């Protein structure tokens, strides 16, 4: 789903969403409007700009880190990729942590400052939720691996094993195509016997082939656009209201 479509869906639902402030790194609830204003430091950001950065960070964490690790581990263990994964969607807190690191990788603040912000956000998420996303580690070696993977994602997987890279790109395209497909989970629920289940599976397979023929090229083009990192000045001013000597 593109940032524009995501924004339209969110506005339609008129949600109250949790937001990470790009200046003071506080987390706050906000009714979705065209601007999101932090109650802690009064910084405002256009919702469309926020979602654009959020969407890029989501893909960077989900495909650039989680899926990459899964397929890289499989390739290392088996010598080749023989099976595909369906990994649950990434946690919102993981996206916020990704935003922090990307502001250092793409922006001007540098990775050392970005790591400090990462740890501040991690503490605040843990205080708020009681835990952190299980697929995002907070030890120094784990953060360094995450930074390395995000660097590779920003570089559009340049330097990643060819088979791993192609498999991740394929996953990204499949996710695009799935967004164009009807809700097939309801069909599975309605299948009350093995015979019905086989019919459902066959129907979904046929539908998938049709969707791929119709939208495959379009999905591939969308993925290529998604892989282009935001401009460096997108992260201008990030975290400038954090007191690093008294951040809690």
Task: Convert the pLDDT of each residue in 2-43 to its tens digit.
Answer: 565 655 555 555 577 899 999 999 999 988 788 999 999 999
- Residue 5 is predicted with a pLDDT of 60
- Considering the domain boundaries, does residue 72 fall inside one? yes
- Residue 135 is predicted with a pLDDT of 85
Is the model's pLDDT at 215 over the cut of 80? Answer: no
Helix (H) or strand (E) run with residue 126 in it: helix 111-129
Average pLDDT score, the chain: 85
- Considering the domain boundaries, does residue 244 fall inside one? no
- Residue 150 is predicted with a pLDDT of 97
DSSP 64: I
CA distance linking residue 241 with residue 43, whole number of Å: 9
β-bridge pairing 35-37 and 44-46 = antiparallel
Is the model's pLDDT at 183 over the cut of 60? Answer: no
- What's the average model confidence in pLDDT over 188-215? 60
- Total domain count, the chain: 1
CA distance linking residue 248 with residue 242, whole number of Å: 10
Q: Could you read off the pLDDT of 95-147 as tens digits, one per residue?
A: 999 999 999 999 989 999 999 999 999 999 999 888 888 889 999 999 999 99
- Considering the domain boundaries, does residue 132 fall inside one? yes
- Residue 237 is predicted with a pLDDT of 93
- Residue 200 is predicted with a pLDDT of 60
User: Distance of alpha carbon 154 from its chain centroid, rounded?
Assistant: 13
b/e burial code for range 26-36 (CB count within 10 A of at least 16 → b): bbeebebeeeb
- Considering the domain boundaries, does residue 45 fall inside one? no
Domain that holds residue 189: 56-235
Q: Where are the alpha helices (DSSP H) in 21-159?
A: 47-61, 68-78, 92-105, 111-129, 140-154
Share above pLDDT 70 across residues of the chain, in percent, rounded to a whole number: 79
Report residue 219's pLDDT band, with 50, 70 and 90 as the boundaries: confident
Q: Which residue has the tokens 């920003």?
A: 154
- Residue 63 is predicted with a pLDDT of 97
Is the model's pLDDT at 186 over the cut of 60? Answer: no
Question: How deeply is 16 buried, as exposed, middle or buried, from its count of CB atoms within 10 A (0-12, 13-18, 19+)?
Answer: exposed
- Considering the domain boundaries, does residue 222 fall inside one? yes
- Considering the domain boundaries, does residue 118 fall inside one? yes
- Considering the domain boundaries, does residue 210 fall inside one? yes
């Amino acid at each position: 789903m593109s940032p524009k479509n995501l924004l339209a869906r969110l506005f339609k639902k008129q949600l109250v969403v949790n937001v990470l402030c790009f200046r003071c790194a506080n987390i706050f609830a906000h009714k979705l409007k065209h601007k999101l204003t932090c109650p802690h430091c009064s910084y405002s950001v256009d919702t469309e700009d926020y979602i654009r950065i959020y969407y890029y960070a989501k893909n960077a964490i989900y495909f650039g880190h989680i899926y990459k690790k899964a397929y890289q581990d499989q390739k290392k263990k088996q010598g080749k990729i023989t099976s595909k994964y369906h990994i649950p969607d990434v946690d919102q807190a993981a996206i916020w942590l990704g935003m922090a690191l990307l502001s250092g990788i793409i922006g001007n603040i540098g990775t050392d400052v970005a790591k400090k912000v990462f740890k501040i956000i991690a503490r605040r998420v843990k205080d708020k939720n009681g835990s952190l996303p299980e697929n995002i580690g907070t030890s120094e070696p784990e953060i360094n691996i995450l930074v390395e993977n995000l660097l590779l994602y920003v570089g559009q997987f340049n330097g990643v094993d060819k088979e791993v890279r192609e498999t991740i790109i394929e996953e990204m395209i499949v996710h695009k195509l799935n967004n164009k497909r009807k809700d097939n989970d309801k069909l599975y629920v309605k299948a009350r016997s093995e015979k019905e289940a086989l019919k459902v599976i066959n129907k979904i397979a046929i539908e998938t082939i049709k969707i791929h023929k119709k939208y495959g090229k379009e999905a591939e083009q969308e993925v290529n656009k998604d892989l282009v990192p935001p401009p460096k000045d997108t992260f201008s001013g990030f975290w400038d209201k954090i007191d690093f000597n008294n951040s809690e």
